Amino acid sequence: MELTCVVPAYNEESRLGETLRRVTEYLDSESRDYEIIVVDDGSADATVTVASAHAAQSPRCRVVSLGKNSGKGAAVRRGVLEARGDLILFTDADLSTPIQELDRLAGAIVAGADVAIGSRALPDSRVEVHQPWVRERMGKTFNLLIRMILMRGFGDTQCGFKLFRAPVARDLFRRARLNRFAFDVEILFLAKLVGYAVVEVPVRWINSPATRVRMLRDSSRMLCDLLRIRLFQLRGCYRR
């Protein structure tokens, strides 16, 4: 089966080149049929130049630009809807979850899952470099709010390493409405709402010190997004 690897990128000139090199080398070594789609989210730096330079050397990589900053969720959605593969992976540009963990998620798909999500919260997960204590505490609080407001069943919704059967990914992202950090939660909420099989898979994870998250501002936005998801559901906005 062909794999599409979607890499959303916003102001990632300093690390995107190395990420694309590592992803390409690994997928080539596995003799996979694949494509890589870099989705530039309106970067103000040389992200597009770096991505285009890699694409010029690797015909399996292509670059799509949103033109203006619209949010990680919007970037991933664009990549999903552009994808040609039978399986669609999205991964963060910092590769906090190494690309080698793809095999774990693919195993869950082969076993029958529609969606396999990387998790830092399972007994077999390996968090090799932790986030600062405040950010870890914020993540746990956010997960508690998810359980209170929306759904139970996931120990980690925010790990940026998720694999989908392609028709499932297209269905979920076409229904979804959020464009920023809580888009992961919305996608998983929709998957449960529709009845897709979602499996949480333990992965290796290495914190990257560079982050786009601003704790006070983004915490309030993510709480508002959880309430918006519930409101969208009550209004019937997620119907096909």
Q: Which residues contact 181 (CB under 8 A, 6 or more apart)?
A: 71, 72, 73, 158, 213, 218, 221, 222, 225
Q: Which residues contact 102 (CB under 8 A, 6 or more apart)?
A: 3, 26, 89, 163
**pLDDT tens sequence across 187-220:** 999 999 999 999 999 999 998 876 555 555 677 8
The helix/strand/coil state of 163 is strand
Pairing of strands 3-9, 34-40: parallel
β-sheet bridge partners, residue 34: 3
Q: CA-CA distance, 79 to 90, in Å (whole number)?
A: 9
Q: CA-CA distance, 142 to 226, in Å (whole number)?
A: 10
Q: What is the pTM of this model?
A: 0.94
The pLDDT of residue 82: 96
- Which stretches in the chain have pLDDT values below 70? 210-217, 240
